[in-house]
């Protein structure tokens, strides 16, 4: 890979943006061309992310006009958007407009929820505000790389972190017909899933040594899980989801349960999962229950399963910032630019985090 592809990170000062920058620093196929932050233009990237100082000692955040100028120079810049829900759509729309006026055609992976829905009405029903770029919705596909062989659109909307874990665990059950369409999900997420801005739910004295649920049976990402599961499996599933906040910074542990259509032991379900993901380089199916620490800061997902002959439980762990966001987005970008899907993403988890 002698000539690396220029990449731009949008919404560049949050946790997911920091993870994108960390992964891009060592990527063999992409090279950071710019990082957009409306709140910090001109400031050093290392001031927001001191742990990245060795990679970006002199790199500075840029304004929208500066990013537009970069887009106008390259025939096909890769764009990774970590801007928040509601902000991402109009910002991506403006940047694509500017690039297209210059005769350039960048490709986008958006990590917000703004392009995960097929219609503006479906988005508005969940987020309670109008969509910022409804004409662009048809240009995006929302799916995990493991569940879509070919991409029918130019751009991608990456599913959320909880959604990624739930889909990895549930799509095989549905597509293989191992269970009925009714699934029950419980999940625990680390504090970085709430974003960089301090809120009560991520305040350390309240979260330390504690676990508590929130948005039980009313989590806003379940409609996208239903839509992605339908597209990947052909089944209209019903998910009852109870999310919880855990006392750790990174990682997600999800348990998906359903009634088996026929009696199966744990070994046969694990074998079915292993066969289903045989060509998925970042999904490892284990004989033993997966542990969050074994995937944190990596792009790997670990799965396992247990049954009692009537009910199956599929267990899945991912890192919310990597496989559930930045790493999954780069995995998509690798495919979009015909690079090896694993490029820049094969480092194992550090362990003992």
SS3 37: coil
Report which secondary-structure segment, H or E, holds 240. strand 238-245
**Residue 146 CA to its chain's centroid (Å):** 12
Who's near 43: CB < 8 A, 6+ residues apart? 37, 60, 61
Residue entry with tokens 């910074």: 249
Contact 110, 95 (CB under 8 A): no
Closest listed residue to residue 318, CA positions, set 333, 332, 334, 298: 298
Phi, psi of 156 (to 5 degrees): -130, 140
Residue entry with tokens 């293989």: 176
The token pair that represents 253 in the structure block:
């542990």
Q: How far apart are CA 251 and CA 245, in angstroms?
A: 11
Q: How far apart are CA 141 and CA 192, in angstroms?
A: 26
SS3 6: strand
Sign of CA dihedral 296, 300, 306, 310: positive
Q: Which residues of 73-95 are buried (b: 16+ CB within 10 A; e: fewer)?
A: ebeebbbbbbbbbbbbbebbbeb
Q: Does the annotation count 142 as an active-site position?
A: no
For the annotated catalytic residues, the residue numbers are 161
């Amino acid at each position: 890979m002698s000539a690396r592809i220029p990449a731009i990170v949008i919404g560049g000062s949050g946790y997911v943006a920091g993870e994108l920058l960390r992964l891009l620093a060592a990527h063999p196929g992409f090279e950071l061309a710019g990082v957009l932050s409306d709140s910090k233009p001109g400031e050093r990237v290392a001031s927001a992310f001191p742990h990245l100082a060795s990679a970006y000692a002199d790199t500075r955040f840029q304004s929208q006009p500066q990013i537009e100028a970069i887009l106008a120079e390259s025939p096909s810049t890769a764009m990774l958007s970590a801007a928040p829900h509601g902000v991402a759509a109009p910002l991506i729309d403006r940047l694509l407009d500017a690039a297209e006026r210059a005769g350039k055609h960048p490709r986008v992976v958006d990590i917000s929820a703004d392009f995960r829905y097929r219609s503006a009405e479906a988005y508005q029903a969940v987020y309670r505000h109008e969509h910022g770029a409804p004409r662009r919705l048809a240009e995006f596909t929302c799916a995990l790389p493991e569940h879509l062989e070919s991409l029918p659109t130019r751009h991608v909307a990456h599913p959320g972190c909880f959604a990624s874990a739930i889909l990895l665990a549930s799509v095989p059950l549905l597509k293989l017909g191992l269970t009925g369409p009714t699934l029950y999900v419980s999940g625990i997420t680390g504090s970085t899933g709430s974003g960089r801005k301090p809120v009560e739910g991520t305040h350390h004295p309240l979260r330390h040594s504690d676990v508590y649920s929130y948005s039980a049976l009313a989590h806003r990402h379940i409609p996208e899980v239903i839509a992605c599961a339908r597209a990947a499996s052909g089944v209209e599933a019903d998910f009852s989801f109870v999310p919880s906040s855990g006392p750790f910074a990174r990682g997600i542990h999800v348990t998906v349960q359903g009634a088996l259509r026929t009696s199966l032991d744990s070994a046969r379900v694990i074998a079915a999962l292993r066969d289903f993901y045989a060509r998925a380089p970042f999904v490892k199916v284990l004989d033993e229950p997966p542990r969050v620490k074994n995937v944190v800061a990596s792009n790997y997902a670990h799965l396992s399963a247990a049954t009692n002959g009537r009910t199956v439980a599929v267990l899945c762990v991912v890192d919310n910032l990597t496989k559930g966001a930045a790493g999954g987005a780069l995995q998509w970008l690798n495919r979009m630019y015909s690079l090896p899907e694993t490029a820049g993403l094969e480092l194992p988890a550090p362990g003992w985090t």
